[in-house]
Structure 1
């Protein structure tokens, strides 16, 4: 996520056909096809880059075809193959044309510098699109279990497709991707099975306990115009909630204006939607006809949908957090890290005197040796 206290390019390139989901399920992590990557989605300095289509799952473990960008370092692969970094990207939007493997990262300069560092360290990179981005269906924004499946299945597919890749892998992620990396870390061993050798995770700018704030969303919430990106993320969360729990009838909680904005959020990328919100300046409260607290056990439901696990990690987890980060609730992220430590989880926390964007690359001084040790 970008410019939000809760946690941002289109191409004239059609994503793969929605009819892919009509094919018989061949098993998660199986390869559907390989395509050329657009220039916008190609990491500068990669010796080879391709768009991989593969089978995964979405809400309710329903089968889906999704995609990933795969980047290779220069030179000959070492014995056993290139170790793999799975990149869990931050928010790009909800439209298919916003997908990472179609349009590339929303924060181009920041993310290319970050990923190029990993590439130069001798890691191949597998950058998964999350279900519903660049392919059939809606994207269940911030649904951690779905994102974990998508990341793990991308690594399965890539290691099956490319003999030069090792089955040893780690996951790194920022913002929305920080949450996805954490969820992946929690489930990687069980989701990956014996074919993969998961080593650990790095998450920066990780949004924690968003459910504590969103449960109070309603007509009285922030009745004045706020950051356009904050409004965008509320709309994305409403979309993800609607996709994850269709029986809630989320539209019934919204005003006509709220439904109109939600429809606009479904197709616009984060930059485009942010510009529209900045120009028209709707308040978040104006989206709602009634509060989400009308939903029975709303906090438990939100926690199930977007909450970060506080236990059950079987490999080392690195958390990097900027102390000037106002895009996520930094005190809540630090509270969650403290809870992990209190639970005896294998967590390492590093803080930096930086904001959301600058923490990503500032953390490399610590995360590069951390990941190197995972593969040693």
Structure 2
């Protein structure tokens, strides 16, 4: 392996695409069964898990406002975060559905650096994780490994950031459904995770924050920037980095009709159809899947099933299994996916958008079209299109330095064409 390739492997975000969700979660589950889905933790201790740290105040528990803490419990066993002496809590906090505006509860992880915070508190990175599934047992915070996200969080901690890792609505808290690919819901969840961090450490966490994510997490980061003006009051979003985001996946409908979906896109469509059926009770899944696929559906959604069984089942799914019955069904699917897409509003602050031309999950033309739309409606965006790179192998070297520059107030590049 060349040194460049080895460096890329080391620095690429350890996040999950729709094609690899079961791999990571099943690897965790083999040695550590998930707790009961939606199990709400109770407060047991607010002391850090390491010695010699600064005294931390008790968190602000209770309340009904977005970001209010419902529960807090130390998360133990993540070696990467323990190695950097981070204070790590598994929290449940209040948020808002982007689908219907209802109040929700979302779980996640908050990690705070050791020692004395800088004046104004630790700046925050809201870190959007990749796809882990759509069921309530698919939450990264239900696993001490955090499904491979601990290493990147540790790097952020060492760079002087507090870090939030929201599970996203419907993952980790029973009673709520996951709206897969809904940028508004994920954006609200990201913003409220920062509020939750401030409630966890009222004096040590800053109002200054950034959003960062890859794949589904890239959509969440973009969604946060899209929602910030309307929803992010009281916080100061300094910058957003979205890598390979599935910003607008409405093109899946026409590719399903044409029979040209990639393997990664078939998995993503299965997750999307399930979520859409939850939020649209009149949507008949059987108009979008064959009886053969319906018989495998539950296994394909199960993020903790044996890995080899799921992978073998995925190999049996064909494009013919996911062809909408009629053109009207295709049109409805496209419309529903468009409703969840970003952008809807101008992004707050600068955004770095990275994507590759060999992406097998998100066609690069879809991302380019979303970027062009964002520029037209008033975005301040640096568009970094990587020739020959795919979904999971984007160079991420720019990530932390770029975010640190935003916190420092340095000017970002804007490659959007001038508005006339």
Aligned pair in 2 of structure 1 residues 230, 313: CA closer, same or farther (>3 Å)? closer
- CA distance in 1 between counterparts of 2:131 and 2:201 reads 28
Please tell me whether residue 346 in structure 1 is matched to residue 393 in structure 2.
no
State the SS of the aligned residue for 2:352: strand
Aligned pair in 2 of structure 1 residues 188, 344: CA closer, same or farther (>3 Å)? closer
Q: 1:72 maps to what in 2?
A: 112
* Residue 85 of structure 1, aligned match among 125, 138, 162: 125
Q: Which moved more, 1:146-155 or 1:365-374?
A: 365-374
Could you tell me how far 1:332 is from its partner in structure 2?
2.5
Q: TM-score, normalised by structure 2?
A: 0.75
Q: 2:414 maps to what in 1?
A: none
Q: 2:169 maps to what in 1?
A: 131
Contact 2:17/2:131 (8 A) holds in 1: yes
Q: 2:343 maps to what in 1?
A: 309
Please tell me whether residue 256 in structure 1 is matched to residue 291 in structure 2.
yes
Please tell me whether residue 35 in structure 1 is matched to residue 73 in structure 2.
yes
Q: Which moved more, 1:143-152 or 1:208-217?
A: 208-217
Could you tell me how far 1:85 is from its partner in structure 2?
0.5
Please tell me whether residue 330 in structure 1 is matched to residue 364 in structure 2.
yes
Q: 1:144 maps to what in 2?
A: 183
Superposed CA deviations along residues 97-154 of structure 1, whole A, max 9, x for unmatched, are 3212113554x2xx44433332221000011111110112221111111111111112
- CA distance in 2 between counterparts of 1:295 and 1:14 reads 37
State the SS of the aligned residue for 1:357: coil
Q: How does 1:126-205 map to 2 (within 5 A)?
A: 126-136=164-174, 137-163=176-202, 164-193=204-233, 195-205=234-244
Q: 1:2 maps to what in 2?
A: 17
Could you tell me how far 1:88 is from its partner in structure 2?
1.0
- CA distance in 1 between counterparts of 2:183 and 2:72 reads 26
Q: Which has the larger radius of gyration?
A: 2
State the SS of the aligned residue for 1:86: strand
Q: Whose helix proportion is higher, 1 or 2?
A: 1
Could you tell me how far 1:171 is from its partner in structure 2?
0.7
Could you tell me how far 1:338 is from its partner in structure 2?
3.4
Aligned pair in 2 of structure 1 residues 78, 25: CA closer, same or farther (>3 Å)? closer
Aligned pair in 2 of structure 1 residues 212, 323: CA closer, same or farther (>3 Å)? closer
* Residue 100 of structure 1, aligned match among 140, 158, 169: 140
State the SS of the aligned residue for 2:133: coil
Q: 2:253 maps to what in 1?
A: 214
Could you tell me how far 1:30 is from its partner in structure 2?
1.1
Superposed CA deviations along residues 38-80 of structure 1, whole A, max 9, x for unmatched, are 5359745252111011112334122222211011223211111
Aligned pair in 2 of structure 1 residues 94, 298: CA closer, same or farther (>3 Å)? closer
Q: Which moved more, 1:278-287 or 1:116-125?
A: 278-287
Q: 1:14 maps to what in 2?
A: 36
Contact 1:319/1:349 (8 A) holds in 2: yes
Contact 2:251/2:366 (8 A) holds in 1: no
Could you tell me how far 1:251 is from its partner in structure 2?
4.0
Could you tell me how far 1:236 is from its partner in structure 2?
0.6
Q: 2:273 maps to what in 1?
A: 238
Gaps of 5+ in 2: 1-15, 43-61, 412-420
Contact 2:87/2:112 (8 A) holds in 1: yes
Q: 2:51 maps to what in 1?
A: none
Gaps of 5+ in 1: none
Aligned pair in 2 of structure 1 residues 280, 363: CA closer, same or farther (>3 Å)? same
- CA distance in 1 between counterparts of 2:376 and 2:139 reads 37
- CA distance in 2 between counterparts of 1:189 and 1:343 reads 14
* Residue 119 of structure 1, aligned match among 149, 157, 165: 157
Please tell me whether residue 272 in structure 1 is matched to residue 307 in structure 2.
yes
- CA distance in 1 between counterparts of 2:271 and 2:319 reads 12
- CA distance in 2 between counterparts of 1:49 and 1:183 reads 25
Give the length in aligned residue pairs.
361
- CA distance in 2 between counterparts of 1:116 and 1:375 reads 24
Contact 2:252/2:269 (8 A) holds in 1: no
